[in-house]
Amino acid sequence: MNHRQFTWWRRFYTTRHLKQLPWKGYSELLQRIDYGEYEFNHLGFEVYLEDKVYLAEIEKLKQTLKSKSQDVIEEAIIHLRKKFHKRKEFIMERHLIEEQKSLNRLAQDLASEFGMEKEQVEEVMETFDGTTRHIYYHLQSINNNRVPPTAEEVEMIPKTVEPQPRHVLRYDEMKWQPLWQEVITEKKVWGAL
């Protein structure tokens, strides 16, 4: 069985869950937030690479088939376009599913951490304008009847763990690194440099 049978559409390694908590007795949820488990699903950015790969593959195809008739070239491009759209559609579908799961899990975990109702947390999340880490400290302050910290104050609090790397191309996909660098520059992909 092919090891990529179920992940044929991925060009990047998936994000991981924090296996071992480095700080015993410290909030597990905060450590997971700092590690990046609840951050924006990176597939939303990685799908931009597909457009560049598609154009590169068309150019490669035209060079390979330049001695063939225009009908053969067009047929090959149609086949390539179908593969491209299937992969892109699958990536965006997974992105939306994973993003919704992550938001639901974050709301549930925050509610459990602070003894609140999930609906209360979701209500705060709807209007909150800040990072995941900031909302953690915001809800902690509400739970402790304190004034919520500002974003600057939250930034001054040391992180419990280094965030995990994102947007790491799989070994067999490294040939697309130059195109990914173009995407990073054009789309200003946060945390990918």
Asked if 42 contacts 102 with a C-beta cutoff of 8 angstroms, the reply is: no
Q: What is the DSSP string of 144-164?
A: TT-PPPPHHHHHHSPPSSPPP
- Residue 69 has φ and ψ, to the nearest 5°, of -75, 160
pLDDT of residue 24: 75
pLDDT at 190: 67
Residue 122 three-state SS: helix
Cα dihedral 7/13/14/17 (nearest 10): 140
Query: What are the residue ranges spanned by the domains of the chain?
Result: 116-157
Cβ 115 vs Cβ 141: under 8 Å: no
Residue 1 confidence (pLDDT): 41
* Tens-place pLDDT, residues 95-104: 999 999 999 9
Q: Judge if pTM exceeds 0.85.
A: no
CA–CA dist 42, 95 (Å, integer): 8
Query: What are the tens digits of pLDDT across the range 104-115?
Result: 999 999 999 999
Question: What is the residue type of 130?
Answer: G
Task: Report residues of the chain scoring pLDDT below 50.
Answer: 1-3
Estimate the crossing angle of helix 43-64 against helix 70-114, to 10 degrees.
Answer: 170
